[in-house]
């Protein structure tokens, strides 16, 4: 638990995370945890201003590449699960953007009907 965090809030946070994880595949859950752990490692390893960085430049570049690969795979999985990622949520009571208008039928018959 993080410093300053109320112990009473912890069960609620875990429960909501569990509910969200039920809808994710195993690979998506692995990627999510991997991203969080990697971000925490970066936060813990980040030195105070003016201090030398404990990680080599090549390690920092590898971490950036790994974040990029995680993002790409998450995007691929999202694309596979929802073909149109640009869909926007809507409310059921939201006014529709288009209306169907019924045209009155004339007394004339259509071509080919007599």
Task: Tell me the per-residue pLDDT of 25-43, one tens digit each, with 9 for 90 and over.
Answer: 899 999 999 999 999 999 9
Task: Tell me the per-residue pLDDT of 43-79, one tens digit each, with 9 for 90 and over.
Answer: 999 999 999 989 999 999 999 999 999 999 999 988 8
Residue 23 belongs to what domain range? 16-81
> Total structural domains in the chain?
1
Residue given tokens 């790409």 in the structure block: 72
Q: How many residues does the chain have?
A: 114
The residue with greater pLDDT, 64 or 114, is 64
Phi-psi region of 76 (alpha: psi -120 to 50; beta: other; left: phi over 0): alpha
Domain assignment of residue 4, yes or no = no
Q: DSSP label at 50? A: T
Task: Tell me the per-residue pLDDT of 74-100, one tens digit each, with 9 for 90 and over.
Answer: 999 888 877 565 666 777 787 777 777
Domain assignment of residue 86, yes or no = no
């Amino acid at each position: 638990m993080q410093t300053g965090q109320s112990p009473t809030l912890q069960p609620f946070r875990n429960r909501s995370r569990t509910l969200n994880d039920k809808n994710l595949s195993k690979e998506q859950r692995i990627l999510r945890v991997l991203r969080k752990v990697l971000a925490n490692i970066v936060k813990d390893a980040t030195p105070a201003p003016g201090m030398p960085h404990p990680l080599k430049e090549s390690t920092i570049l590898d971490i950036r590449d790994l974040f990029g690969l995680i993002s790409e795979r998450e995007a691929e999985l999202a694309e596979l699960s929802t073909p149109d990622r640009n869909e926007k949520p809507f409310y059921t009571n939201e006014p529709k953007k288009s209306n169907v208008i019924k045209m009155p039928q004339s007394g004339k018959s259509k071509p080919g009907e007599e």
